[in-house]
Amino acid sequence: MKLKVYIEEAYDELVHKVTWPTWKELQSSALVVMVASFIIALVIFVMDISFENIMGFIYGLFY
């Protein structure tokens, strides 16, 4: 019985109490996430290239 009550309450909450975003809000949020992901990936790429060059220089001093 508890499982049935839980499912009914969960359904009621999802249908009547949750505020779902509009299509325009969803598109806007997705765009923000894509831009932020691109910027973070670009920063990590620059850090990776920088460390590769720095370590190559340091290793080059000893060989």
Is 52 part of a structural domain of the chain? yes
Is 11 part of a structural domain of the chain? no
Is 48 part of a structural domain of the chain? yes
pLDDT band at 3 (very low <50, low <70, confident <90, very high): very high
Is 14 part of a structural domain of the chain? no
pLDDT band at 1 (very low <50, low <70, confident <90, very high): confident
18-34 average pLDDT score:
96
Is 7 part of a structural domain of the chain? no
Is 31 part of a structural domain of the chain? yes
Residues 24 and 59: their CA atoms lie apart, in Å, by 52
Q: Residue 42: which domain range?
A: 20-63
Structurally, how many domains does the chain consist of? 1
The predicted structure's pLDDT at residue 63? 79
Percent of the chain with pLDDT over 70: 100
Is 30 part of a structural domain of the chain? yes
